[in-house]
């Protein structure tokens, strides 16, 4: 794993705050995670046992294979366009896109038609993707905005949870915005007058009591709106798998992970992963208000079960030895069990309005 100067992002944050004053939680997340050259995601491979977290594609090949089948089914529903964009947001090591074509071999025309596009800011991870996905000659982007026009199937697995959020806290005197300021040589939580993002509060936030926190993710809402606009012009759909409640709710969900353990977001700024719950209901509403269809959210467990993960596990186990069979069973449990990833993690699709059904969403 790449190990850049771990203090650089923290030092940059301190200088920024010293020069301009406290920053919102959203700006704190952006600087700590994505600042070019120093941000957490921009400078390292955070995945796996030696990193800070593990995602579903790294748990089992079954996950990527089923997403591959979902993409083939969607491509056929779109009329089998040739060519079409197959895009992934934050593809990590390229594991999902390496596993998906294994299942997609059932439809060779799909593989011939796809043009692989990856949205990735990490140069170390781009290098791994280039090696693993060389057969598909991928094109890289720093932002969704540069994806070319045309029919598109887009996948975002554990991408939305790392987008910057604004946090608003109800006080005896109304809403205030949570922010990060300086405390001696370190960082501290503080408050600011609320910014314009306060207007994005959901109806579920209106009954907040003093101390309650509401979270808003303008970047995710803008992405949903942009995809809805795109799918009104060009056929396609986007599938997101991430964690969070099915309905908008109050609560502080910001967390930091370092070495697979909870960390202090302020002490470990730039050295730890920062994530927050995804507001799936807000994204679905944003998509529908801009003319797209929205499917879900549904639990990851039911979604994968509808796509046939248990059958796939049985097929793999039938050809495996005792040790591998145990590993397959453990991976299946982790992906679909309600107490593991099956309930907290959810699937949501944003689709062109002409699509009335999608696999996995009943």
Which of 349, 350, 334, 348 lies closest to 57, judged by CA? Answer: 334
**Prediction pTM value:** 0.93
* 3-state DSSP assignment of residue 265: coil
Can you tell me the distance from the alpha carbon of 4 to that of 2, in angstroms, rounded to the nearest whole number? 6
Helix (H) or strand (E) holding 100: helix 95-104
| 302-312 burial code (b ≥16 CB/10 A, e <16) | bbbbbbbbeeb
Domains and CATH numbers, the chain: 47-163+219-244+279-351 (3.40.50.150)
pLDDT for 316 equals 93
Residue 203 structure tokens: 């109806």
* 3-state DSSP assignment of residue 177: strand
- The answer to whether 268 and 222 are in contact (CB under 8 A) is no
- Residue-level pLDDT, tens digit, the chain, 362 residues: 334 444 577 888 889 999 999 999 999 999 888 776 666 776 655 555 555 456 788 889 999 999 999 999 999 999 999 999 999 999 998 999 999 988 888 899 999 999 999 999 888 899 999 999 999 999 999 999 999 999 999 999 999 999 999 999 999 999 999 999 999 888 999 999 999 999 999 999 999 999 999 999 999 999 999 999 999 999 999 999 999 999 999 999 999 988 768 889 888 787 788 999 999 999 999 999 999 999 999 999 999 999 999 999 999 999 999 999 999 999 999 999 999 999 999 999 999 999 999 999 97
Residue 23 structure tokens: 């920053």
CA angle 233, 235, 239 (to 5 degrees): 115
């Amino acid at each position: 794993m790449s190990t850049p100067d771990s203090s650089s992002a923290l030092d940059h944050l301190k200088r920024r705050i010293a020069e301009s004053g406290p920053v919102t939680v959203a700006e704190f997340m952006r600087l700590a995670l994505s600042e070019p050259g120093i941000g957490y995601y921009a400078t390292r491979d955070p995945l796996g046992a030696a990193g800070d977290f593990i995602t579903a594609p790294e748990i089992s090949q079954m996950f990527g294979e089923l997403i591959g089948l979902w993409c083939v089914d969607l491509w056929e529903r779109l009329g089998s366009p040739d060519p079409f964009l197959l895009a992934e947001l934050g593809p990590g090591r390229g594991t999902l896109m390496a596993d998906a074509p294994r299942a997609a071999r059932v439809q060779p025309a799909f593989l011939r038609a796809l043009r692989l596009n990856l949205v990735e800011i990490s140069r170390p991870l781009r290098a791994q993707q280039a090696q693993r996905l060389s057969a598909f000659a991928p094109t890289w982007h720093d932002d969704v905005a540069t994806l070319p026009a045309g029919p598109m199937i887009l996948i975002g697995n554990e991408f939305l949870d790392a987008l910057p959020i604004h946090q608003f806290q109800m006080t005896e005197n109304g809403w205030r915005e949570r922010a990060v300021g300086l405390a001696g040589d370190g960082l501290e939580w503080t408050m600011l007058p609320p910014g314009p993002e306060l207007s994005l509060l959901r109806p579920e936030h209106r009954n907040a009591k003093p101390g309650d926190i509401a979270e808003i993710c303008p970047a995710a809402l803008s992405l949903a709106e942009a995809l809805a606009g795109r799918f009104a012009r060009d056929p396609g759909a986007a599938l997101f798998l991430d964690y969070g409640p099915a309905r908008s709710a109050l609560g502080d969900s910001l967390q930091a992970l370092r070495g697979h353990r909870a960390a202090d977001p302020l002490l470990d700024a730039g050295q730890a992963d920062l994530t927050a719950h995804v507001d799936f209901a807000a994204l679905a509403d944003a998509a529908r208000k801009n003319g797209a269809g929205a499917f879900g959210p549904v639990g990851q467990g039911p979604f994968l079960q509808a796509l046939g993960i248990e059958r796939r596990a049985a097929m793999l186990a039938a050809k495996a030895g005792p040790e591998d069979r145990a590993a397959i069973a453990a991976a299946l449990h982790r992906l679909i069990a309600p107490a593991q990833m099956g309930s907290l993690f959810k699937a949501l699709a944003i689709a062109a309005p002409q699509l009335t059904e999608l696999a996995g969403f009943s």
